[in-house]
Amino acid sequence: MKSVYYDHFGSAADVLNIATLGTPAPAAGEVTIRMAFSGVNPSDIKSRAGSRPGVLKPAFPQVIPHSDGAGVIEAVGEGVRPNRIGNRVWIWNGQWQRAFGTGSTHITLPAEQAVDLPEGISLETGAVLGIPGLTAAEAVFGAGDVTGQTLLVSGGGGTVGYLAVQLAVWGGAKVIATCSERDMERVKAAGAQTVLDYRSETLVEDILTANSGAHVDRILEVEFGANIMMNAEVIKVNGTIAAYGSQIDLTPTMPFAPFLFKAATIDIILIYLLPLADRQERITRLNDALADGALICPVAQIYPLEECVAAHEAVLAGGRAGAILVDCS
Protein backbone atom coordinates (compact mmCIF):
# COMPACT_ATOMS: atom_id res chain seq x y z
CA MET A 1 0.00 0.00 0.00
CA LYS A 2 1.15 3.55 -0.70
CA SER A 3 1.03 5.58 2.48
CA VAL A 4 1.83 8.96 3.95
CA TYR A 5 3.73 8.57 7.22
CA TYR A 6 5.80 10.38 9.82
CA ASP A 7 8.27 9.05 12.40
CA HIS A 8 8.90 12.24 14.38
CA PHE A 9 7.02 15.42 15.18
CA GLY A 10 7.27 18.66 13.24
CA SER A 11 5.76 20.72 10.46
CA ALA A 12 4.01 18.89 7.65
CA ALA A 13 6.71 19.82 5.13
CA ASP A 14 9.44 18.55 7.45
CA VAL A 15 8.02 15.23 8.61
CA LEU A 16 5.46 13.85 6.15
CA ASN A 17 6.83 11.28 3.72
CA ILE A 18 5.38 8.76 1.26
CA ALA A 19 6.41 5.11 1.15
CA THR A 20 5.16 1.74 -0.03
CA LEU A 21 4.36 -0.41 2.99
CA GLY A 22 2.92 -3.89 3.38
CA THR A 23 -0.87 -4.04 3.56
CA PRO A 24 -1.84 -5.75 6.84
CA ALA A 25 -4.13 -8.75 6.31
CA PRO A 26 -7.37 -8.66 8.32
CA ALA A 27 -7.24 -10.65 11.55
CA ALA A 28 -10.36 -12.11 13.15
CA GLY A 29 -13.05 -9.46 13.40
CA GLU A 30 -11.24 -7.07 11.04
CA VAL A 31 -11.70 -5.74 7.52
CA THR A 32 -9.30 -4.33 4.96
CA ILE A 33 -10.55 -1.28 3.09
CA ARG A 34 -9.35 0.15 -0.20
CA MET A 35 -9.37 3.85 0.65
CA ALA A 36 -10.99 6.40 -1.64
CA PHE A 37 -10.69 9.53 0.52
CA SER A 38 -9.01 10.39 3.81
CA GLY A 39 -10.35 13.25 5.93
CA VAL A 40 -7.86 15.68 7.48
CA ASN A 41 -8.92 17.24 10.78
CA PRO A 42 -7.34 19.76 13.17
CA SER A 43 -6.64 16.92 15.63
CA ASP A 44 -4.54 15.19 12.95
CA ILE A 45 -2.50 18.37 12.56
CA LYS A 46 -1.92 18.63 16.30
CA SER A 47 -0.93 14.96 16.57
CA ARG A 48 1.59 15.26 13.73
CA ALA A 49 3.02 18.49 15.11
CA GLY A 50 3.46 16.98 18.59
CA SER A 51 1.50 19.75 20.27
CA ARG A 52 0.08 17.66 23.11
CA PRO A 53 1.74 18.54 26.44
CA GLY A 54 4.27 15.99 27.64
CA VAL A 55 4.24 13.93 24.41
CA LEU A 56 7.77 14.11 23.01
CA LYS A 57 7.68 11.49 20.28
CA PRO A 58 5.10 9.49 18.31
CA ALA A 59 3.67 6.43 20.06
CA PHE A 60 4.73 4.17 17.16
CA PRO A 61 7.88 3.94 14.98
CA GLN A 62 5.84 4.95 11.92
CA VAL A 63 2.47 6.70 11.98
CA ILE A 64 0.09 6.89 9.04
CA PRO A 65 -2.05 9.93 9.93
CA HIS A 66 -5.79 10.66 9.87
CA SER A 67 -8.72 8.98 11.57
CA ASP A 68 -11.48 9.69 9.05
CA GLY A 69 -12.03 8.28 5.59
CA ALA A 70 -14.17 6.27 3.23
CA GLY A 71 -13.63 3.45 0.79
CA VAL A 72 -14.63 -0.07 -0.19
CA ILE A 73 -14.08 -3.27 1.81
CA GLU A 74 -11.65 -5.56 -0.04
CA ALA A 75 -11.14 -8.38 2.45
CA VAL A 76 -12.56 -9.61 5.76
CA GLY A 77 -11.15 -11.63 8.63
CA GLU A 78 -12.62 -14.60 10.42
CA GLY A 79 -15.97 -13.87 11.98
CA VAL A 80 -16.88 -11.05 9.60
CA ARG A 81 -19.66 -11.69 7.08
CA PRO A 82 -18.07 -12.34 3.66
CA ASN A 83 -20.87 -10.40 1.99
CA ARG A 84 -19.40 -7.20 3.43
CA ILE A 85 -16.73 -7.41 0.71
CA GLY A 86 -17.54 -4.70 -1.83
CA ASN A 87 -19.49 -2.55 0.64
CA ARG A 88 -18.90 1.21 0.58
CA VAL A 89 -18.04 2.32 4.11
CA TRP A 90 -16.99 5.28 6.22
CA ILE A 91 -14.44 5.01 9.02
CA TRP A 92 -14.20 6.28 12.60
CA ASN A 93 -11.11 6.34 14.87
CA GLY A 94 -8.91 5.08 12.07
CA GLN A 95 -5.71 6.30 13.73
CA TRP A 96 -6.85 6.68 17.33
CA GLN A 97 -4.37 4.70 19.47
CA ARG A 98 -3.28 2.87 16.31
CA ALA A 99 -0.19 3.29 14.16
CA PHE A 100 -1.83 3.14 10.74
CA GLY A 101 -4.59 5.61 9.87
CA THR A 102 -6.46 6.45 6.70
CA GLY A 103 -3.76 8.44 4.88
CA SER A 104 -3.03 5.45 2.69
CA THR A 105 -4.38 3.39 -0.17
CA HIS A 106 -5.49 0.75 2.39
CA ILE A 107 -6.38 0.40 6.04
CA THR A 108 -7.08 -2.69 8.14
CA LEU A 109 -9.10 -2.22 11.32
CA PRO A 110 -11.91 -3.72 13.45
CA ALA A 111 -15.06 -4.31 11.41
CA GLU A 112 -17.29 -2.11 13.61
CA GLN A 113 -15.12 0.90 12.71
CA ALA A 114 -16.22 0.56 9.08
CA VAL A 115 -19.82 1.76 8.75
CA ASP A 116 -21.87 1.01 5.64
CA LEU A 117 -22.75 4.17 3.72
CA PRO A 118 -26.43 4.72 2.90
CA GLU A 119 -27.38 4.20 -0.73
CA GLY A 120 -26.56 7.20 -2.90
CA ILE A 121 -24.25 8.92 -0.39
CA SER A 122 -20.85 9.78 -1.86
CA LEU A 123 -17.54 8.53 -0.55
CA GLU A 124 -16.48 12.18 -0.22
CA THR A 125 -19.31 12.71 2.25
CA GLY A 126 -18.36 9.51 4.04
CA ALA A 127 -14.87 10.85 4.66
CA VAL A 128 -16.33 13.77 6.66
CA LEU A 129 -18.47 11.71 9.04
CA GLY A 130 -15.94 10.26 11.48
CA ILE A 131 -14.86 13.27 13.56
CA PRO A 132 -16.93 16.24 12.31
CA GLY A 133 -20.12 14.25 11.75
CA LEU A 134 -20.04 12.27 14.98
CA THR A 135 -18.99 15.32 17.02
CA ALA A 136 -21.95 17.24 15.61
CA ALA A 137 -24.31 14.33 16.27
CA GLU A 138 -23.10 13.96 19.86
CA ALA A 139 -23.29 17.70 20.49
CA VAL A 140 -26.88 17.82 19.22
CA PHE A 141 -28.28 14.49 20.44
CA GLY A 142 -26.05 13.68 23.42
CA ALA A 143 -29.01 13.99 25.81
CA GLY A 144 -31.61 12.54 23.45
CA ASP A 145 -34.23 14.09 21.19
CA VAL A 146 -34.26 17.86 20.74
CA THR A 147 -37.73 18.30 19.29
CA GLY A 148 -39.15 21.64 20.38
CA GLN A 149 -35.95 22.79 22.08
CA THR A 150 -33.89 25.89 21.28
CA LEU A 151 -30.25 25.13 20.50
CA LEU A 152 -27.50 27.72 20.22
CA VAL A 153 -24.79 26.61 17.80
CA SER A 154 -21.64 28.62 18.44
CA GLY A 155 -19.42 28.69 15.37
CA GLY A 156 -22.03 27.58 12.85
CA GLY A 157 -19.69 28.32 9.96
CA GLY A 158 -17.15 25.64 10.96
CA THR A 159 -17.44 22.08 9.69
CA VAL A 160 -18.82 20.67 12.95
CA GLY A 161 -21.08 23.66 13.55
CA TYR A 162 -22.47 23.61 10.02
CA LEU A 163 -23.33 19.92 10.32
CA ALA A 164 -24.80 20.51 13.79
CA VAL A 165 -27.14 23.21 12.49
CA GLN A 166 -28.52 20.80 9.91
CA LEU A 167 -28.84 17.90 12.36
CA ALA A 168 -30.59 20.07 14.96
CA VAL A 169 -33.09 21.36 12.41
CA TRP A 170 -33.69 17.80 11.17
CA GLY A 171 -34.20 16.78 14.81
CA GLY A 172 -36.97 19.33 15.26
CA ALA A 173 -35.10 22.04 17.18
CA LYS A 174 -35.15 25.80 16.77
CA VAL A 175 -31.59 26.85 15.96
CA ILE A 176 -29.83 30.10 16.76
CA ALA A 177 -26.30 30.17 15.35
CA THR A 178 -23.31 32.47 15.64
CA CYS A 179 -20.60 32.80 13.00
CA SER A 180 -18.56 35.36 11.09
CA GLU A 181 -20.26 37.73 8.67
CA ARG A 182 -18.73 35.76 5.79
CA ASP A 183 -20.63 32.60 6.71
CA MET A 184 -24.01 34.06 7.63
CA GLU A 185 -25.87 33.33 4.41
CA ARG A 186 -24.82 29.69 4.14
CA VAL A 187 -25.54 29.04 7.83
CA LYS A 188 -28.97 30.56 7.34
CA ALA A 189 -29.44 28.35 4.27
CA ALA A 190 -28.50 25.33 6.41
CA GLY A 191 -31.65 25.94 8.45
CA ALA A 192 -30.73 28.23 11.35
CA GLN A 193 -33.71 30.39 12.24
CA THR A 194 -31.47 33.23 13.44
CA VAL A 195 -27.80 33.82 12.57
CA LEU A 196 -25.79 36.30 14.63
CA ASP A 197 -22.32 37.80 14.33
CA TYR A 198 -20.23 36.20 17.07
CA ARG A 199 -18.36 39.50 17.52
CA SER A 200 -21.49 41.46 18.39
CA GLU A 201 -21.05 43.59 21.52
CA THR A 202 -24.67 42.79 22.42
CA LEU A 203 -24.50 39.06 21.68
CA VAL A 204 -26.24 37.96 24.90
CA GLU A 205 -29.13 40.32 24.25
CA ASP A 206 -29.22 39.30 20.59
CA ILE A 207 -29.53 35.62 21.51
CA LEU A 208 -32.25 36.17 24.09
CA THR A 209 -34.18 38.44 21.73
CA ALA A 210 -33.99 35.77 19.01
CA ASN A 211 -35.57 33.34 21.49
CA SER A 212 -38.39 35.70 22.52
CA GLY A 213 -36.60 36.56 25.75
CA ALA A 214 -36.21 32.95 26.90
CA HIS A 215 -32.95 31.21 27.71
CA VAL A 216 -31.74 28.41 25.44
CA ASP A 217 -32.00 24.70 26.21
CA ARG A 218 -28.64 23.58 24.87
CA ILE A 219 -25.46 25.25 23.65
CA LEU A 220 -23.08 23.61 21.18
CA GLU A 221 -19.80 25.34 21.94
CA VAL A 222 -16.66 25.42 19.80
CA GLU A 223 -14.81 28.00 21.95
CA PHE A 224 -15.77 27.24 25.55
CA GLY A 225 -13.12 29.41 27.23
CA ALA A 226 -13.72 32.48 25.09
CA ASN A 227 -17.52 32.21 25.38
CA ILE A 228 -17.89 30.97 28.94
CA MET A 229 -19.58 34.10 30.29
CA MET A 230 -21.97 34.30 27.36
CA ASN A 231 -22.84 30.63 27.90
CA ALA A 232 -23.57 31.27 31.58
CA GLU A 233 -25.89 34.15 30.73
CA VAL A 234 -27.97 32.55 27.97
CA ILE A 235 -28.31 28.93 29.15
CA LYS A 236 -31.58 28.05 30.86
CA VAL A 237 -31.95 26.46 34.29
CA ASN A 238 -30.91 22.78 34.02
CA GLY A 239 -29.62 23.43 30.51
CA THR A 240 -26.49 21.88 28.96
CA ILE A 241 -23.38 23.31 27.32
CA ALA A 242 -21.96 20.66 24.99
CA ALA A 243 -18.38 21.88 24.49
CA TYR A 244 -16.14 20.29 21.89
CA GLY A 245 -13.43 22.95 21.62
CA SER A 246 -11.62 25.76 23.44
CA GLN A 247 -8.66 26.58 21.24
CA ILE A 248 -8.55 30.31 22.01
CA ASP A 249 -8.47 29.73 25.79
CA LEU A 250 -7.44 26.24 26.88
CA THR A 251 -7.34 27.19 30.57
CA PRO A 252 -10.55 29.12 31.14
CA THR A 253 -11.51 30.59 34.49
CA MET A 254 -14.78 29.07 35.61
CA PRO A 255 -17.41 31.53 36.94
CA PHE A 256 -18.93 28.94 39.26
CA ALA A 257 -21.85 30.91 40.71
CA PRO A 258 -23.63 31.67 37.41
CA PHE A 259 -23.54 27.98 36.48
CA LEU A 260 -24.41 26.88 40.00
CA PHE A 261 -27.61 28.90 40.11
CA LYS A 262 -28.59 27.56 36.70
CA ALA A 263 -27.71 23.97 37.75
CA ALA A 264 -26.16 23.85 34.29
CA THR A 265 -24.42 20.78 32.91
CA ILE A 266 -21.10 21.22 31.12
CA ASP A 267 -20.62 18.25 28.81
CA ILE A 268 -17.07 18.03 27.43
CA ILE A 269 -17.03 16.09 24.16
CA LEU A 270 -14.06 14.13 22.85
CA ILE A 271 -15.55 11.97 20.14
CA TYR A 272 -12.65 9.50 20.15
CA LEU A 273 -13.78 8.33 23.60
CA LEU A 274 -17.50 7.99 22.99
CA PRO A 275 -18.73 4.60 24.33
CA LEU A 276 -19.62 2.16 21.58
CA ALA A 277 -23.35 1.97 22.36
CA ASP A 278 -23.63 5.77 22.31
CA ARG A 279 -21.53 5.92 19.16
CA GLN A 280 -23.75 3.43 17.38
CA GLU A 281 -26.81 5.54 18.25
CA ARG A 282 -25.15 8.68 16.83
CA ILE A 283 -24.11 6.71 13.73
CA THR A 284 -27.74 5.75 13.22
CA ARG A 285 -28.76 9.40 13.54
CA LEU A 286 -26.16 10.45 10.97
CA ASN A 287 -27.08 7.75 8.47
CA ASP A 288 -30.79 8.47 8.91
CA ALA A 289 -30.25 12.19 8.31
CA LEU A 290 -28.21 11.39 5.21
CA ALA A 291 -30.86 8.99 3.93
CA ASP A 292 -33.51 11.69 4.49
CA GLY A 293 -31.51 14.18 2.43
CA ALA A 294 -31.23 16.43 5.47
CA LEU A 295 -27.44 16.58 5.77
CA ILE A 296 -24.95 18.12 3.36
CA CYS A 297 -21.25 17.71 4.17
CA PRO A 298 -19.36 20.37 2.18
CA VAL A 299 -15.84 19.69 0.97
CA ALA A 300 -13.58 22.71 0.50
CA GLN A 301 -10.77 20.96 -1.40
CA ILE A 302 -9.39 17.54 -2.29
CA TYR A 303 -5.65 16.97 -2.58
CA PRO A 304 -3.83 13.98 -4.12
CA LEU A 305 -2.10 11.67 -1.65
CA GLU A 306 1.23 13.00 -2.89
CA GLU A 307 0.15 16.51 -1.79
CA CYS A 308 -0.77 15.59 1.77
CA VAL A 309 1.56 18.32 3.04
CA ALA A 310 -0.61 20.92 1.29
CA ALA A 311 -3.72 19.34 2.80
CA HIS A 312 -2.28 19.68 6.31
CA GLU A 313 -1.29 23.27 5.61
CA ALA A 314 -4.82 24.06 4.40
CA VAL A 315 -6.33 22.74 7.64
CA LEU A 316 -3.77 24.67 9.70
CA ALA A 317 -4.56 27.90 7.80
CA GLY A 318 -8.27 27.71 8.69
CA GLY A 319 -10.85 30.01 7.15
CA ARG A 320 -12.32 27.30 4.92
CA ALA A 321 -15.96 26.54 4.17
CA GLY A 322 -15.82 22.77 4.23
CA ALA A 323 -13.65 19.74 4.89
CA ILE A 324 -10.20 19.00 3.52
CA LEU A 325 -9.80 15.55 1.96
CA VAL A 326 -6.96 13.54 0.49
CA ASP A 327 -7.62 11.40 -2.59
CA CYS A 328 -6.12 7.99 -1.79
CA SER A 329 -7.06 6.23 -5.05
pLDDT (tens digit, 9 = 90+) per residue, 159-208?
Answer: 999 999 999 999 999 999 999 999 999 999 999 999 999 999 999 999 99
pLDDT for 306 equals 97
Read off the pTM.
0.96
pLDDT (tens digit, 9 = 90+) per residue, 2-44?
Answer: 999 999 999 999 999 999 999 999 999 999 999 999 999 999 9
Pairing of strands 194-197, 174-179: parallel
Please report the domains of the chain, with CATH numbers, ordered by start residue: 2-128+297-327 (3.90.180.10), 140-272 (3.90.180.10)
pLDDT (tens digit, 9 = 90+) per residue, 202-259?
Answer: 999 999 999 999 999 999 999 999 999 999 999 999 999 999 999 999 999 999 999 9
pLDDT for 55 equals 86
pLDDT for 56 equals 87
**Phi, psi at residue 300, to the nearest 5°?**
-80, -45
Question: What integer is the mean pLDDT of 98-111?
Answer: 98
pLDDT (tens digit, 9 = 90+) per residue, 140-153?
Answer: 999 999 999 999 99
pLDDT for 52 equals 83
pLDDT for 150 equals 98
- In three-state form (DSSP H/G/I as H, E/B as E, the rest C), the secondary structure along the chain is CEEEEECCCCCHHHHCEEEECCCCCCCCCEEEEEEEEEEECHHHHHHHHCCCCCCCCCCCCCEECCCEEEEEEEEECCCCCHHHCCCEEEECCCCCCCCECCCECEEEEEHHHEEECCCCCCHHHHCCHHHHHHHHHHHHHCCCCCCCCEEEEECCCCHHHHHHHHHHHHCCCEEEEEECHHHHHHHHHCCCCEEEECCCCCHHHHHHHHCCCCCEEEEEECECCCCHHHHHHHEEEEEEEEECCECCCCCCCCCHHHHHCCCCEEEECCHHHCCHHHHHHHHHHHHHHHHCCCCCCCEEEEEEHHHHHHHHHHHHHCCCCCEEEEECC
pLDDT for 278 equals 97
pLDDT (tens digit, 9 = 90+) per residue, 121-137?
Answer: 999 999 999 999 999 99
Tell me how many degrees the CA angle 27-66-131 measures, rounded to the nearest 5: 100
* Residue with more model confidence, 55 or 170: 170
